[in-house]
Amino acid sequence: MTKPITIFFIVTVCLFIGLGILGIRGFTEPIPTLRAPFDMTLYFYPSGWMGDGELGTRHVQLNTGFCECQRTGDTDGICIKISYQPGPRGWAAIYWQYPDSNWGGQPGRRIVGATRIAFWAKGEIGGEIVEFKAGGISAHNKPYRDSFEVSRGRINLTTYWTRYEITLSGEDLSHVIGAFAWVASRDANPDGLMFYIDDIRYE
């Protein structure tokens, strides 16, 4: 009986080693599922600082608990305040990621039941130009990537709270690392900008 047991043990060990080599991690790293509707900021983190944002907070300031939003219909009075002063790279962006600071080294989340991302935004003085997007994290040297990429395009913000939507119809949301992002450039905002975002939801 010793020989069959030894063979079984060897085969089992080889199988698990093979699964690891192939990158099949589902047994130890299941992808958590989120079902819409939900508040995006409760499950993803504003950790993906890019462009001038990588150089430090002297270029990008982020306040996720700004208390003077004064948006009609807002229940908590808190929103996100962002300012950007262009630096040497000429652009900046922040991704909301899962897990924190994940650029593809770890699995993201699966989202079901969502057909759009809805959010509110406004500028400090009006005329601020910002792109809003989701998905698109895809590093060639990382094992995981977003399964989709969508953009609302550049928006010319006003001083009034306005509700915007990014459609998700037909998109593959089976693996989401970067659930939301803003992008601003020096070309569109030569003197920098300040703007506000609120109530970012997958619906």
Structure confidence at residue 97 (pLDDT)? 98
Residue pair 53/93 in contact (Cβ under 8 Å)? The answer is yes
Q: What is the mean pLDDT of residues 175-186?
A: 98
E-state strands within the chain: 33-35, 38-39, 45-51, 60-66, 79-84, 91-97, 110-112, 116-123, 129-135, 149-156, 162-167, 178-185, 193-202
Structure confidence at residue 29 (pLDDT)? 59
Say yes or no to pLDDT of 126 above 50.
Answer: yes
CA distance 177 to 100: 10
**What is 31-202's CATH number?**
2.60.120.260
- What is the percent of the chain where pLDDT is above 70? 86
Give this prediction's pTM: 0.85
For residue range 88-125, list pLDDT tens digits in order.
Answer: 999 999 999 999 999 999 999 999 999 999 999 999 99
CA distance 28 to 30: 6
Better pLDDT: 31 or 130: 130
Domain range summary for the chain, segments of one domain joined by +: 1-30, 31-202
